[in-house]
Structure 1
Amino acid sequence: MALPAQDERTLPAVVLRDVDKCPLDHALTEMQTLVEAHGHVIVVCSQAVPAAVERRLHTIRSLLESDRIALFRPDLPPLGLAVLARQLRQLASCDLGPGVLASAGRLLTHYIHAGALLGTVARLDRVPVGLKSHAKSWVPGSQFGVIAHPEPQLVRIGPEARLAGPEFGTWMLLARGQLQSDWVTTTLAPSWRVRGLREAQLPTESARWWGTGKLIEFCSFLPDLSVLYQLVGSVRRNSCHWCGIDVIGDRCVFCSATAPAYDDQLQLPAG
């Protein structure tokens, strides 16, 4: 899902449609064209998509023999993933190298709080659900507030229901499914002290990810480009020892090489 631009600097997204269903040569040509046009490509993919999509993406990367394609599949619900992709599109307008930009995704996930209001948790397998909650999910009219990231939380909605949220200023985005409720806007958002609230279309994968179409998905995030850039810029960068690209962290997001381990002390031969 490609969200609307957050600001005038946000770069547009390229949506790879039906990547697992279209002819392989068509998918290869599309990806090769993107690489030639932009130099590097960061593919952000939900873990809720069919396994055939992931296999096709790996096949494309392998056949193109390219270390300029990064495949990123963070453990975020679909709306949170869409927000993260837009944040990367915001940062793509800055003076960040492709390796830093791609690995910034792992950093920014820590600042995203993603969850949903659900009409049932009977088929929810992304967050631990106790037997009592499973039993209550069959009671007509029951609703549950769930946080999937950064730490799992689950509560049955009632007068005392609370979900721990971010301890810093955020905006909130919500997407309505087949559930009718104003709990997110009238209770959760004020308790999290969000600075703004907007609505978006529900991602296609949301019902599969949450196990039900009776939901309202929500996500709190940092909207300002200056804050995002400061966060990324404050982290130490390393050069990949294999392909030479600058990255954040010990693993290159393009060639997948990890930083070599060195002994802290020189080992002298016995003799």
Structure 2
Amino acid sequence: MPTAIAVTSSDLVLPPLDRQTPPAAVQPRPTLEQSLNALHALIEHHGYVIAVHSTTGDDPAVQRLRTVRSVLESDRVALLGVDLPPLGLALLAQQLRQLSVCDVSPGVLASSARLLAHYIYAGALLGSVAGLDHVPVPLATHAKSWVPGAQFAVLAHPRPQLARVGQEELPGPEFGTRMVVAAGQPPSDWVTATLAPAWHVQGVATVPLPAQSTRWWGTSRLAEFAAGLHDVSVLYQLVSSVRREMCRWCGLELIGDRCGFCAAPLSAPPDQPQPPAVVHALPRGAT
């Protein structure tokens, strides 16, 4: 069975892109006992579990996962905190689900999350930036956000950017992507009608707005978006292009400089510099 990919809430589960993509497991369950039983069943059935969650905020679901893993005393559960907005996190979980059915070991799959996240462009169209904490906002822009009808395009990842809609452009990826959009209030077609064509995306899907998005972006007047690689063969090529190592602590195979399961760093000999964990971006035509 493929490695199980878990998320902390059901609204972080994006629809599969094909019949081969397995569903995500939603963790934790309402009670501690249910969470223990569910995670134990996943380990027994899949062998390994990779749970992705946001590094921002104090999410009770993440605390519950840590508690359950500690009680089970299992070294087969990876808790991966990723610095992405909610929709970007959901997209990363979808990519891991796609790769889980490929010839990718659990250790490589877990450590590939940091690599895949590098190629996710996550942002939002906001009606106000007054409550935005995750992206630097100049004082003058804060003042402009109080003007009726003002809209701002904000890119939180991979490089924070802020642009006034209609006056500035938001820089996008230089490789082929597919975009997911979650519309909040008030509705706007700027993301699908303007941003998506400007970024030359290869498809747009509309999904419900994650419950955590309003808190993450500091306003309910938003339309969240995330664009990333979608072809499983390209994802596999990207992960396979990075040299694999063995974790000296738990023995699992990994890529990059840190094990996704035990979080142990990879220590390279002084005369053998460690290769970068991120390869060059693929051109748009590669997908």
Q: Same fold (TM over 0.5)?
A: yes
Deviation, structure 1 residue 261: 5.0
Query: Residue in 2 aligned with 1:162?
Result: 169
Q: 1:51 to 1:175 in 2, by over 3 A?
A: closer
**1:108 maps to 2:112:** no
**1:52 maps to 2:63:** no
Deviation, structure 1 residue 260: 3.5
Query: Residue in 2 aligned with 1:31?
Result: 39
Identity %: 59
Which of 37, 40, 48 pairs up with 1:40? 48
> 8 Å contact 1:114–1:148 — kept in the other structure?
yes
Which of 246, 251, 255 pairs up with 1:248? 255
Return the letter of the residue paired with 1:146.
V
Distance of 1:55 and 1:46 partners within structure 2: 12
**1:124 maps to 2:132:** yes
Distance of 1:240 and 1:219 partners within structure 2: 32
Distance of 1:204 and 1:50 partners within structure 2: 14
Match of 1:111, SS state, is: coil
**1:94 maps to 2:105:** no
**1:202 maps to 2:202:** no
Structure 1 stretches of 4+ moved >6 Å: none
Which of 23, 41, 44 pairs up with 1:12? 23
Match of 1:45, SS state, is: strand
Q: 1:48 to 1:213 in 2, by over 3 A?
A: farther
**1:221 maps to 2:228:** yes
Deviation, structure 1 residue 49: 5.7
> 8 Å contact 1:91–1:101 — kept in the other structure?
yes
Match of 2:254, SS state, is: strand
Query: Residue in 1 aligned with 2:179?
Result: 172
Distance of 2:87 and 2:247 partners within structure 1: 31
Distance of 1:184 and 1:90 partners within structure 2: 25
Structure having the higher Rg: 1
Return the letter of the residue paired with 1:33.
A
Query: Residue in 1 aligned with 2:285?
Result: none
> 8 Å contact 2:27–2:65 — kept in the other structure?
no
Distance of 1:66 and 1:144 partners within structure 2: 45
Query: Deviations for 1:197-234, whole angstroms, at most 9, x for unmatched residues?
Result: 12111111111110111100111111101100000111
> 8 Å contact 2:180–2:207 — kept in the other structure?
yes
> 8 Å contact 1:48–1:208 — kept in the other structure?
no
Return the letter of the residue paired with 2:53.
C
Deviation, structure 1 residue 263: 4.1
Gaps of 5+ in 2: 1-11, 273-287
Query: Residue in 1 aligned with 2:280?
Result: none
Query: Residue in 2 aligned with 1:268?
Result: none
Number of equivalent positions: 261
> 8 Å contact 1:48–1:78 — kept in the other structure?
no
Deviation, structure 1 residue 26: 2.4
